[in-house]
Structure 1
């Protein structure tokens, strides 16, 4: 699979994977800041997201295989892997499927465990937007506001909206496949193994995704790991506290 990506900077290779409903475009600004620290940053669209191909399957083993194929295509030698939320699950799964194929791992606000489905309302809101007759983003936002009250979350979701070659609005997301696989997206890792490479788990202070009771599991599966809690951040650590995010990342890598 030919994944879409954006690359900035020169230096040690780093691959960044976004979360559910996201894309590499969400990482453009912060990628440039990271690149200035001496890294060649590859921000990648995972399958069924952004400008990457749509596929009928969406599971962590498949996402890990996509990442492995991307690393081989780009000729990257033991890159640093960074993943947020769903992307964090992908890089953890990759570490378990492809040992010794990366140097360091950074997992942002997700734990190696299963999560209950909690995106049903968002999916319902996206499906409620009549793409064929939609006239504007403002109209889409008004409809989505009936399902999601937080403007910044709606803005994030509506970045997936674009006009196709016929001038009709469409989703970059493969919404039917994501809806069909939403329980799989929340599932635990497949065939977990002990990962000994240096790993950073970064979590938001106000987020419930990585709980204190998750720490023993993290320590068991990733014995060479540290956990850094970013003050004042919720799940969107890199967007809400970008300076603290970059500082934590660079401190770990150096």
Structure 2
């Protein structure tokens, strides 16, 4: 069973949040709080992340099965990036579990970039020499120039335990599957929102056909001043847009 963080109280349809690669439930605390005024909101640590179980299989059908196991009945599901692909797979493979779906800045498509340099940078940190988060940041800076990216990655470092809260070996091994998209037949006919960042290039016009094939009721919205991490770049606009869609 996945590790979870739950806020709010039971009321309307509960919300489930699935984070992206290298993320955690904790990353979504502010959004969960904004959405929990009249709902119970549960954010998960995906497998191989945070406090959730480690597993060599990081395929999207496996991740979808994990999410299905957390949902009691039906939920409105929000997924970002890797979590968005897992949420799409959940809706396609376990449609009885999903009422409404929000896919944040990702498409049902294979991507050509890789996150291996970030994994290699984390693996290159000499954890035995780490006394403080600043120590780790100095080491990580040798392979990761962007301070914001380093800060994000370091949220998954257990400084006292001198360990990453990520199964880096499994994520590296499964990177082709993480970047890809499995062949899943059928469609999810429920209401679906594809919410993108205006400054992100993850969802392109050429992805629309695949989106429509799998999600014929898809709607599209864009947050103009946000990038790929749109929930962090524009949290208020993200929460307001999602709430308006889920409350319909």
**Aligned mate of 2:144, from 148, 173, 176:** 148
**Aligned mate of 2:171, from 174, 178, 181:** 178
Q: So what's the TM-score if we normalise by structure 2?
A: 0.95
Asked whether the 8 Å contact 2:77–2:101 carries over to 1, the reply is yes
- Structure 1 residue 132: Cα displacement: 2.2
| Distance across 2 between alignment mates of 1:3 and 1:252 | 26
| Distance across 2 between alignment mates of 1:247 and 1:192 | 32
Deviations 1:47-77 (A, max 9, x none): 1001111112111011111111122xxxx22
**Helix, strand or coil for the counterpart of 1:42?**
strand
Asked whether the 8 Å contact 1:89–1:189 carries over to 2, the reply is no
1:231-246 residue pairs with structure 2 within 5 A?
231-246=224-239
Asked whether the 8 Å contact 1:93–1:190 carries over to 2, the reply is no
1:82-101 residue pairs with structure 2 within 5 A?
82-101=78-97
- Structure 1 residue 108: Cα displacement: 0.3
Partner of 2:207: 214
Deviations 1:118-145 (A, max 9, x none): 2121111101101123222112111211
Asked whether the 8 Å contact 2:18–2:84 carries over to 1, the reply is yes
Provide structure 1 residue ranges, at least 5 long, that are not aligned to the other structure. none
How many residues align? The count is 245
**Helix, strand or coil for the counterpart of 2:50?**
coil
**Aligned mate of 1:130, from 126, 148, 161:** 126
| Distance across 2 between alignment mates of 1:211 and 1:224 | 18
| Distance across 2 between alignment mates of 1:168 and 1:3 | 21
Name the Cα RMSD after superposition: 1.2
Q: So what's the TM-score if we normalise by structure 1?
A: 0.93
Moved over 4 A (4+): none
Partner of 1:112: 108
| Distance across 2 between alignment mates of 1:227 and 1:146 | 39
Per mean C-alpha deviation after superposition, the further-off stretch among 169-178 and 132-141 is 132-141
| Distance across 1 between alignment mates of 2:86 and 2:185 | 12
**Aligned mate of 2:193, from 187, 200, 217:** 200
| Distance across 2 between alignment mates of 1:134 and 1:78 | 44
Partner of 1:19: 20
Provide structure 2 residue ranges, at least 5 long, that are not aligned to the other structure. none
**Helix, strand or coil for the counterpart of 2:79?**
strand
- Structure 1 residue 216: Cα displacement: 2.3
Asked whether the 8 Å contact 1:117–1:182 carries over to 2, the reply is no
**Helix, strand or coil for the counterpart of 2:48?**
coil
**Helix, strand or coil for the counterpart of 1:100?**
helix
